[in-house]
């Protein structure tokens, strides 16, 4: 446009020599040009011979921030350049006498508020019309590019993959850290570095994080080209397009193998005993605190066992500290070998070790028994002879125990077992004791009873009592065989006192087998007497027995060997047993197939499903005595009794009520259709000779 103006101007001068006319037309043209540039999307100005603004458009005026009347005719363009830009511009402005064109001159423009704006200046002549372009975004882009390039060539390993994890680019640090050149890595999945130390779940979690969050970071173990394993801290982020779709992944990693080793060593010194490599007191306290919290949430409990070597000082003094250290290492090994994966063995100090037991039974007495068994196991394994440095010798140990309680804390538990150990060693060595004397007494009694149960089976101390079962006319139709323990010292012991322990220890199965055998023998004996040959004998079956894989075979064999009428043997199961054991129905059907009858004991106290009840091969429901005793007291219990009777007859079963003690109770039951009864009204449980004598009078 400037060239056109000059051509027009020369034409006008040649055609019209009147200077006034020429100047007038020139001014008009300049105003027209200024108007054209006024709202252009770039800056524009003209300067006089001294570099003073003659015109400036709206955009450039906004960049500078001064009012137009302050700039025009007063301010120099040079005033708004940085010092370095002033030098560059002066080179052109004062040395360019031909006013030649300027192309892409890079300068920095300063606004009134101090903002520096990179610009690109073009002009047909220094002192004529100039146009200015804002290069801020372009400069920022270039800077980002430079930063990205510098980052990519940093000391951390970097690689770029496509959306499928195939490596497209890797930097020099990648090569330095892995040993693989960029050429080696291109076209391969980033997984090719894997050392095989992580399972599928690890990588699945990584990809889920990348998919859901767009990034992942963490420790990962990889393998260098030379086969060396190393640990790296890896950060991965995704790159998305304008539609939010992932197009690439950028990985950045550093080698942390050395720092990890240093960290592990520091942890080992801080938390582990240097001689035995077991956790030390500091780590033990942390583990106990954690297990106390877990116990509150799980409902289970735990215990701590203090293990102290008896007369360890003598070994140190006579055989030397080297042998003493070897002994401590061997003790640590033996304790570790007998502890479970969830337990913790620690060395407290000197010749003292602690075994932390977890996941013990919620019932205190059972938990105490479990802890005692572990303590006895410890004593046994440490009492075995030691062979160290050619020396064979024995070293016994003492154990003290404290159970978790709701108020327990880690420090207190250690104090308890230490106190118990001191008290114990005042009297004896190679012993086991509890901190709480009441627990000690209870556990001791439990251990005595457990030993007594074993002895009772061997010495035939168990016996059966018989409680009559009668019909409406009070005629004996049979009996329930009830277990009793005839203890040689404590006398007759009722089953509720020892069957829970028998169930906990598994002794209930051999005891239950003895009951079945004795019941079959009694039925066989009754066959010889016309008065008893019709009697049916009910026997309680435990859940342990029913769970046995060979329970069906045992019953079938017993019926066959005793040659009894199987219809006279009735097996009683509690309601919860029949409906909670998955294979109960299958076993009951198989046993019923040989003629043995089944009855549900304590019916109404559980939550039996009517649909399941119909599937069971039952001949009888027994109404629990708790309902019978409430007849005339709680109307709801009377409703339950009537419902049970109706339901039983509907399903083709008979009903017997237990716990009948009054004539009123019998009358009520009889009125609503219950035809069979058992309870003190007709006879208490009694030995076989008394039962048969009562049968004679009946």
pLDDT recorded at residue 668: 93
Give the pLDDT of residue 437.
Answer: 66
pLDDT of res. 11: 47
Task: Give the rounded percent of residues in the chain with a pLDDT score beyond 70.
Answer: 89
pLDDT at position 3: 43
Strand partners of residue 307: 353, 399
Q: What is the mean pLDDT of residues 491-496?
A: 93
Q: Which residue did the predictor score with more confidence, 335 or 389?
A: 335
Return phi, psi of residue 226, to 5°: -85, 5
- Convert the pLDDT of each residue in 222-269 to its tens digit: 999 999 999 998 989 888 887 888 999 988 888 888 877 777 777 777
pLDDT at residue 150, as a whole number:
54
Whether the pLDDT of residue 592 is over 90: the answer is: yes
Give the pLDDT confidence score for residue 465 in this predicted structure: 97
Q: What are the C-alpha distances in Å from 614 to residues 108, 277, 607, 610, 653? A: 95, 61, 14, 6, 10
pLDDT for position 124: 67
Per DSSP, 162 falls in state E
What count of residues does the chain have? Answer: 698
pLDDT at residue 551 above 80? yes
Q: What is the average pLDDT score of the chain?
A: 86
Q: Which conformational region is residue 218 in: left (phi greater than 0), alpha (psi within -120 to 50 degrees), or beta?
A: left
What's the confidence (pLDDT) of residue 688? 96
Q: What are the Cα distances from residue 492, in Å, to 242, 464, 687? A: 87, 11, 12
Judged by average pLDDT, the poorest of 40-44, 158-162, 569-573, 654-658 is 40-44
Residue 623: both structure tokens together: 């109404």
For residue 97, the model assigns a pLDDT of: 47
Q: How confident is the model at residue 89 (pLDDT cuts 50, 70, 90)?
A: confident
Band of the pLDDT at 16, cuts 50, 70, 90?
Answer: very low
> How confident is the model at residue 610, as a pLDDT?
65
Is the pTM higher than 0.85? The answer reads: no
| Rounded mean pLDDT, 284-310 | 91
Q: What is the pLDDT of residue 1?
A: 44
Closest C-alpha to 214, from 193, 240, 175, 194: 240
Tokens representing residue 272 in the block: 């582990």
- Check residues 1 and 463 and name the one with the higher pLDDT: 463
Stretch among 9-13, 98-102, 440-444 having the lowest mean pLDDT: 9-13
Distance CA 249, CA 237 (A): 6
Computed over its alpha carbons, how large is the radius of gyration of the chain? 49
Evaluate whether 571 touches 598 at the Cβ level (below 8 Å).
yes
pLDDT digits (tens, 9 = 90+) for 412-423: 899 889 888 887
Q: What is the sign, positive or negative, of the torsion defined by CA atoms of 466, 469, 474, 475? A: negative
Mean pLDDT, residues 381-398 taken together: 89
Interatomic CA distance for residues 516 and 246, integer angstroms: 72
Minimum mean pLDDT range among 41-50, 90-99, 545-554, 584-593: 90-99
Average the pLDDT over 397-423 and give the result.
87
The pLDDT of residue 130 is above 80: yes
For the beta carbon of residue 512, count every other beta carbon within 10 angstroms. 24
The pLDDT assigned to 609 comes to 58
Q: What's the CA gap between 37 and 43, in Å, rounded?
A: 8
Q: What span, in angstroms and rounded, lies between the C-alpha atoms of 390 and 290? A: 42
* pLDDT given for residue 133 in this prediction: 85
Tens digit of each residue's pLDDT (9 = 90 or more) over 152-172: 666 688 899 999 999 999 988
- How high is the pLDDT of residue 14? 46
The separation between CA 665 and the C-alpha centre of its own chain, rounded to angstroms, equals 55
Query: At CB < 8 A and 24+ separation, what contacts does 340-348 make?
Result: 344/279, 344/284, 344/287, 345/278, 345/279, 346/273, 346/278, 346/279, 346/280, 346/281, 346/283, 346/284, 346/287, 347/273, 347/275, 347/276, 347/278, 347/279, 347/280, 348/281, 348/284, 348/306, 348/414
Cβ count near 76 (within 10 Å): 16
> What band does 457 get if pLDDT is binned at 50, 70 and 90?
very high
Between 2 and 431, whose confidence is greater?
A: 431
Instruction: Report CA-CA distances (Å) from 1 to 4, 32, 33, 42, 156.
Output: 5, 11, 9, 16, 55
Q: In this predicted structure, what is the pLDDT of residue 640?
A: 87
Q: What is the mean pLDDT of residues 293-303?
A: 89
Q: Kind of pairing, strands 53-56 and 102-110?
A: unpaired
**Does 540 score more than 60 pLDDT?**
yes
Taking residues 273-284, report their average pLDDT.
Answer: 91
Question: Residue 161: helix, strand or coil by DSSP?
Answer: strand
pLDDT, residue 10, reads 46
When mean pLDDT is compared across 147-156, 180-189, 473-482, 633-642, the lowest value belongs to: 147-156
- Reported confidence tier of residue 6, pLDDT bands at 50, 70, 90: very low
The yes-or-no verdict on residue 26 having pLDDT over 60 is: no
- Out of 6-15, 323-332, 398-407, the most confident range is 323-332
Instruction: List, in order of start, the domains of the chain with CATH numbers.
Output: 2-135 (3.30.450.20), 153-261 (3.30.450.20), 275-451 (3.30.70.270), 460-697 (3.20.20.450)
Of 509, 543, 502, the residue nearest 369 (C-alpha): 502
Beta pairing partners, 480: 467, 538
Q: Are 432 and 425 in contact (CB under 8 A)?
A: no
CA distances from 147 to 116, 134, 150, 153, 251 (A): 21, 21, 5, 10, 17
Report which DSSP code applies to 66.
-
């Amino acid at each position: 446009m400037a060239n056109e103006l000059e051509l027009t101007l020369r034409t006008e001068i040649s055609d019209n020599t009147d200077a006034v006319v020429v100047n007038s037309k020139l001014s008009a043209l300049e105003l027209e040009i200024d108007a054209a540039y006024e709202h252009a999307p770039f800056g524009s100005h003209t300067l006089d011979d001294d570099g003073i603004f003659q015109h400036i458009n709206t955009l450039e005026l906004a960049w500078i921030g001064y009012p137009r009347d302050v700039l025009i005719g007063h301010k120099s363009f040079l005033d708004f350049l940085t010092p370095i830009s002033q030098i560059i511009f002066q080179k052109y402005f004062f040395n360019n006498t031909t006013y030649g064109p300027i192309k892409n001159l890079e300068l920095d423009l300063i606004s009134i508020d101090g903002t520096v704006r990179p610009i690109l200046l073009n002009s047909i002549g220094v002192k004529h019309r100039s146009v200015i372009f804002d290069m801020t975004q372009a400069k920022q882009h270039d800077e980002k590019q430079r930063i990205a390039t510098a980052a990519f060539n940093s000391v951390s390993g970097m690689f770029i993959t496509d959306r499928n994890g195939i490596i497209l680019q890797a930097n020099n640090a990648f090569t330095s850290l892995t040993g693989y050149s960029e050429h080696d890595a291109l076209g391969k999945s980033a997984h090719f570095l894997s050392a095989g130390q992580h399972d599928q779940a690890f990588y699945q979690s990584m990809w889920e994080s990348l998919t859901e969050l767009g990034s992942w970071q963490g420790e990962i173990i990889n393998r260098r080209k030379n086969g060396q394993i190393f640990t790296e801290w890896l950060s991965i982020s995704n790159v998305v397009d304008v539609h939010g779709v992932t197009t690439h992944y950028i990985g950045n990693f550093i080698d942390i193998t050395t720092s990890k080793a240093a960290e592990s060593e520091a942890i080992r010194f801080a938390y582990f005993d240097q001689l035995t490599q077991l956790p030390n007191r500091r780590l033990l306290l942390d583990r106990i605190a954690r297990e106390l919290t877990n116990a509150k949430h799980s409902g289970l409990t735990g215990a701590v066992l203090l293990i102290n070597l008896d007369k360890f000082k003598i070994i140190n003094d006579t055989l030397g500290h080297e042998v003493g250290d070897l002994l401590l290492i061997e003790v640590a090994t033996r304790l570790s070998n007998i502890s479970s994966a969830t337990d913790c063995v620690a060395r407290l100090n000197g010749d003292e070790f602690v075994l932390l037991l977890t996941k013990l039974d919620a019932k205190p007495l059972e938990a105490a028994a479990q802890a005692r068994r572990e303590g006895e196991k410890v004593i046994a394994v440490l009492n075995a002879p030691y062979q160290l440095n050619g020396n064979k010798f024995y070293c016994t140990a003492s154990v003290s125990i404290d159970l978790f309680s709701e108020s327990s804390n880690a420090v207190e538990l250690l104090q308890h077992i230490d106190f118990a150990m001191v008290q114990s060693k005042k009297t004896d060595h190679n012993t086991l004791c509890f901190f709480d004397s009441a627990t000690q007494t209870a556990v001791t009694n439990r251990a005595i009873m457990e030993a007594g149960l074993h002895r009772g089976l061997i010495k035939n101390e168990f016996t059966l009592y018989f409680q009559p079962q009668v019909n409406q006319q009070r005629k004996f139709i049979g009996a329930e065989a009830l277990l009793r323990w005839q203890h040689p010292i404590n006398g007759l012991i009722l089953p509720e006192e020892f069957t829970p322990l028998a169930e906990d220890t598994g002794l209930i199965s051999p005891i239950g087998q003895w009951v079945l055998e004795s019941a079959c023998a009694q039925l066989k004996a009754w066959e010889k007497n016309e008065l008893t040959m019709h009697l049916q004998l009910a026997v309680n079956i435990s859940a342990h027995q029913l769970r046995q894989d060979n329970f069906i075979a045992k019953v079938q064999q017993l019926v066959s060997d005793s040659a009894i009428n199987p219809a006279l043997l009735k097996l009683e199961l509690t309601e919860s047993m029949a409906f909670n054991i998955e294979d109960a129905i299958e076993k009951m059907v198989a046993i019923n197939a040989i003629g043995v009858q089944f009855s549900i004991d304590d019916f109404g106290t559980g939550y039996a499903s009517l649909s399941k009840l119909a599937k069971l091969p039952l001949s009888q429901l027994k109404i629990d005595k708790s309902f019978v005793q409430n007849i005339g007291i709680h109307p709801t219990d009377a409703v339950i009794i009537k419902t049970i009777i109706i339901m039983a007859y509907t399903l083709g079963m008979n009903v017997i009520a237990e716990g009948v003690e009054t004539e009123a109770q019998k009358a009520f039951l009889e009125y609503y259709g219950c035809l069979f009864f058992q309870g003190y009204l007709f006879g208490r449980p009694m030995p076989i000779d008394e039962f048969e004598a009562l049968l004679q009078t009946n």
